Amino acid sequence: MTPFDIAMASLFLMLSPVILVPCCARYRSFAIHLSFSLTAAASLAAVIAGALAVQYGTITSAVVEMGLPDLPFHLRLDPLAGFFLCVIGLLSFFVSLYSIGYVKGFPAGRSVVRFVVFFALFITGMLLVVLADDAFFFLIAWELMAASSYFLVMFEDEKAENRRSAYLYLVIAHVGAIAILLSFGVMAGLANGFASFQGYTFAAMRATAYPVGWATAAFLLSFFGFAAKAGVIPLHVWLPEAHPVAPSNVSALMSGVMLKTSIYGIVRITFDFLKVFPWWWGGIVLVLGLVSAVLGVLYALMQHDLKRLLAYHSVENIGIILIGLGLAMIFTSFQLPALAALALIAALYHTLNHAMFKGLLFMGAGAVLHATHERNMEEMGGLIHRMPWTAVFFLVGCISIAALPPFNGFVSEWLTFQALLLSPALHRPILSLLIPLGAALLALTGALAAACFVKAFGVTFLGHWRGHHPIQKVQEVDATMRGGMLLAAAVCFFLGILPTHVITWMDILAERLVGGKLAASAGAYGWLWLTPIARERASYSGFNVFLGIAVVVVVAWLLLHARKADIRRVPIWDCGFEKLTPRMQYTATSFAMPIRRIFGFLFRIREETDVVPPVRHPAYPERLRYRLRVRDRFWYWLYQPVGEAAFFTARKIGNLQQGRIQVYLIYSFVTIIVLLVFLG
């Protein structure tokens, strides 16, 4: 079997629950086990297909005789598609496993069939997006992905909040889709002059050399479209609305892999179709990446809804990926293939890493939600005692996303840093100077992300329980959910300590897309050492870091415990106050207060304090209510004016509707006269 056959088998397996589950909907538990086992198997097949395609660099295409008369569906599996197939499949596998336990916890009234059908269609849509080889089929797959995820966001549709978020998501997804469609139109027109539909195949687009002006138009349109889907600032507003309200397993897939299909789109169009471009394209991508990274993490810090916080971190991480892509584009336009390879690998490695740790974190947030029925961190605390396994997995996710060694997030951010520091090779003083400033912004992002995840983990899992119902009701989640998280955590760890293997595996992508190789230099000193350019330039060994820390920790522990191990447990020292309550702990809001004050100018902050004046004792007010509202400024700058303008126009046009037949007859009459004058 070739990788392509396995990919096809995976698609059919993935679609099978759509037909099978409605037939056995009556047996709820059986239906859940069956459907998620099928999607898990299908995802695994997709991983194998993708991994093999990247490993051996095979390119297979096929034509399915469906679709338009002159434009059948084209499918193609090449290393780039294979890599994304792998990313999507790997997370879908973990999430499918996790979903068995998660969906069982749905209230009895909720339809499992509806969920499973759209879940399977959603993953199928993502797989088809990367496999499609013509514009028409690509957009069908793109819409399949967008529409099925819309229904998944809408899944708990009894809440007005969810319907509103899903609608916003649908609107922005389609504004983006139109831009992508137009971009394909530009490229197809240049490829074949609109004579036939053949210009819409990717093969034709790949073979064409584009004039700079039109190529720029195509690039800008497609970048706008994909950026809207990826949640690049300022097109990000749907993301923190839609991701939190979807069921958590869907949020994991949306944040972890759906956003990555846009990265795929950008790489495909820029490096595969357009190929030659001026450096400032990369500059745009780089700047938007930096803005998204910094603002994304700052907005995340202000959240106290756990899932919303994670959603804003997706904006941040998409930004980090775009930094790598932008650099790869700049280096490519200056004919520096080796450096472009480093930047591209950094971006793609971060794509894989982000899929793993963000999926893990959303699964962890889902487990917390499942156990506490609460998304607001201010109502949590001390969960590490009730949910020890979830706490460990969530901690692994936090360490990975905060880019701390030896886990995976660090490796890709480190590669991005190395790429940023290579700017002197460009021999353009302005670029050489501005790009290292980007490195400083990336450092700021990393440090703020660490702060944010200290807050997320600390407020949720540590300290005392702040909730209203007793903590005894909170139970650890079941084995399948733990299994899904365990596997994702393990992958985060291994991607962190064995980066040279991964880079060797995916080196073919860099070779095919930018013509440079990284593996020869990156793995020159064996699998232990990651040396992206040369050993003298920079080196890192995640395995050594892990081993070193582990050895010292174990030795120190043994030395100290061999002597004596007694620990006396006592109540908390309350400074003699004796009335400590869980409400006196630092909260998510108070934790972020210094940062809110420092970077406050970026937000729209409304703070209100109501004091009910003292009655019983002159020194103590009766009650004090503090209200804080932090909003995204972009909403007020960009979206609200557009929304208001749309309503205004609609109202003005609405004035035409008088509801009287005479007025409508006059409209028809005037129209006929106008047509006769101009066309007659």
Partner 1 sequence: MIAYSLLIEAVQVLILLFAAPLFAGWVKTVKCRMQGRTYAGVFQPYRDIARLFSKEVILAENASWIFRITPYIVFGVTVIIGGIIPLISTDLPFAATADVIALVMLFAIIRFFTALAGMDIGTAFGGMGSSREMTIASLAEPAMLMAIFTVSLAGKSTSLTHMVQVMAQGELLLRPSLAFALLAFIMVHLTETGRVPVDNPSTHLELTMIHEAMILEYSGRHLALMEWASMMKLFIFSALGIALFCPWGIAPAEDFPGMLVAIVLLAAKLAVLGVILVLIETGLAKMRLFRLTEYLGSAFLLATLGMLSFFILE
Q: Where are the alpha helices (DSSP H) in 408-428?
A: 408-420
* From candidates 167, 279, 280, 529, binder to partner 1 by CB under 8 A: 529
Token pair listed for 584: 């006196």
Closest CA to 228 of 299, 170, 274: 170
Cα 105 off chain centre by = 25
Exposed, middle or buried: residue 185 (CB in 10 Å: 0-12, 13-18, 19+)? middle
Nearer to partner 1, 317 or 531 (CB): 531
Token pair listed for 71: 């434009």
* From candidates 23, 64, 276, 437, binder to partner 1 by CB under 8 A: 437
Report yes or no: 39 and 17 within 8 Å, Cβ to Cβ: yes
Exposed, middle or buried: residue 514 (CB in 10 Å: 0-12, 13-18, 19+)? buried
3-state SS, 265-323, equals HHHHHHHHHHCCCCHHHHHHHHHHHHHHHHHHHHHHHCCCEHHHHHHHHHHHHHHHHHH
Question: Total residues at the site for partner 1 (CB under 8 A)?
Answer: 83
* From candidates 535, 606, 629, 631, binder to partner 1 by CB under 8 A: 535
Nearer to partner 1, 64 or 556 (CB): 556
628 binds partner 1 (CB under 8 A): no
* From candidates 212, 520, 550, 666, binder to partner 1 by CB under 8 A: 550
Instruction: Looking at residues 45 to 64 of the shown chain, list those that interact with partner 1 (rule: CB under 8 A).
Output: none
> Could you tell me which residues come within 8 angstroms of residue 651 by beta carbon, excluding any fewer than 6 positions away?
none
Q: CB of residue 374 vs partner 1: minimum separation in angstroms?
A: 18
* From candidates 450, 490, 602, 628, binder to partner 1 by CB under 8 A: 450
Three-class secondary structure of residue 168 per DSSP: helix
Instruction: Looking at residues 586 to 625 of the shown chain, list those that interact with partner 1 (rule: CB under 8 A).
Output: 586, 590-595, 597-598
Q: CB of residue 475 vs partner 1: minimum separation in angstroms?
A: 18
Q: CB of residue 436 vs partner 1: minimum separation in angstroms?
A: 6
Nearer to partner 1, 183 or 423 (CB): 423
Nearer to partner 1, 457 or 493 (CB): 457
* From candidates 351, 455, 480, 481, binder to partner 1 by CB under 8 A: 455
Q: Show contacts of 65-71: CB within 8 Å, 24+ apart.
A: 67/136, 67/137, 67/140, 68/136, 68/197, 70/196, 70/197, 70/198, 71/134, 71/136, 71/197, 71/198, 71/200, 71/201
650 binds partner 1 (CB under 8 A): no
Q: How far apart are CA 70 and CA 356, in angstroms?
A: 40
* From candidates 212, 549, 645, 663, binder to partner 1 by CB under 8 A: 549
Q: How far apart are CA 416 and CA 420, in angstroms?
A: 6
23 binds partner 1 (CB under 8 A): no
* From candidates 48, 541, 630, 632, binder to partner 1 by CB under 8 A: 541
Q: CB of residue 452 vs partner 1: minimum separation in angstroms?
A: 9
Cα 622 off chain centre by = 46
Nearer to partner 1, 67 or 458 (CB): 458
540 binds partner 1 (CB under 8 A): yes
Q: CB of residue 87 vs partner 1: minimum separation in angstroms?
A: 24
* From candidates 166, 286, 336, 399, binder to partner 1 by CB under 8 A: 399
Nearer to partner 1, 35 or 589 (CB): 589
402 binds partner 1 (CB under 8 A): yes
* From candidates 60, 192, 198, 539, binder to partner 1 by CB under 8 A: 539
Q: Half-sphere exposure of residue 248, counting CA atoms within 13 Å on the CB side? A: 32
Instruction: Looking at residues 191 to 250 of the shown chain, list those that interact with partner 1 (rule: CB under 8 A).
Output: none
Instruction: Looking at residues 403 to 432 of the shown chain, list those that interact with partner 1 (rule: CB under 8 A).
Output: 403-405, 410, 414, 417-418, 421, 424, 429, 432
* From candidates 552, 624, 646, 673, binder to partner 1 by CB under 8 A: 552
Nearer to partner 1, 514 or 530 (CB): 530
Closest CA to 336 of 416, 422, 209, 442: 422
Q: How far apart are CA 337 and CA 293, in angstroms?
A: 26
For partner 1, what does the binding mask look like between residues 313 and 352, x meaning CB under 8 A?
----------------------------------------
Nearer to partner 1, 184 or 417 (CB): 417
* From candidates 20, 287, 291, 462, binder to partner 1 by CB under 8 A: 462
* From candidates 544, 602, 605, 639, binder to partner 1 by CB under 8 A: 544
Q: CB of residue 400 vs partner 1: minimum separation in angstroms?
A: 12
Q: CB of residue 269 vs partner 1: minimum separation in angstroms?
A: 32
* From candidates 19, 64, 447, 520, binder to partner 1 by CB under 8 A: 447
Closest CA to 602 of 633, 628, 636: 633
* From candidates 185, 458, 483, 515, binder to partner 1 by CB under 8 A: 458
DSSP state of 475: -
Cα 392 off chain centre by = 22
Place of tokens 């290393």: 79
Instruction: Looking at residues 357 to 386 of the shown chain, list those that interact with partner 1 (rule: CB under 8 A).
Output: 381-382, 384-385
Q: How far apart are CA 487 and CA 37, in angstroms?
A: 16
Distances (CA, A) of 200 to 43, 197, 227: 29, 6, 22
Backbone CA torsion sign across 464, 468, 469, 475: negative
Place of tokens 């790598």: 324
Nearer to partner 1, 164 or 537 (CB): 537
The region that residue 479 occupies, defined by phi over 0 for left and psi between -120 and 50 for alpha, beta otherwise, is: alpha
Instruction: Looking at residues 557 to 586 of the shown chain, list those that interact with partner 1 (rule: CB under 8 A).
Output: 557, 560, 564, 566-573, 580, 582, 584-586
Instruction: Looking at residues 68 to 107 of the shown chain, list those that interact with partner 1 (rule: CB under 8 A).
Output: none
Closest CA to 629 of 584, 591, 583, 596: 596
Q: Show contacts of 138-144: CB within 8 Å, 24+ apart.
A: 138/184, 138/202, 139/177, 139/180, 139/181, 139/184, 140/67, 142/177, 142/180, 142/261, 143/177
Instruction: Looking at residues 248 to 267 of the shown chain, list those that interact with partner 1 (rule: CB under 8 A).
Output: none
Q: How far apart are CA 199 and CA 187, in angstroms?
A: 8
Q: CB of residue 492 vs partner 1: minimum separation in angstroms?
A: 15
Residue 258 burial (CB count, 10 A) = 25
* From candidates 464, 501, 512, 633, binder to partner 1 by CB under 8 A: 464
Nearer to partner 1, 44 or 391 (CB): 391
Nearer to partner 1, 185 or 458 (CB): 458
648 binds partner 1 (CB under 8 A): no
Q: CB of residue 490 vs partner 1: minimum separation in angstroms?
A: 20
Instruction: Looking at residues 476 to 515 of the shown chain, list those that interact with partner 1 (rule: CB under 8 A).
Output: none
Stretch that binds partner 1, among 314-322, 338-346, 524-532, 658-666 (CB under 8 A): 524-532
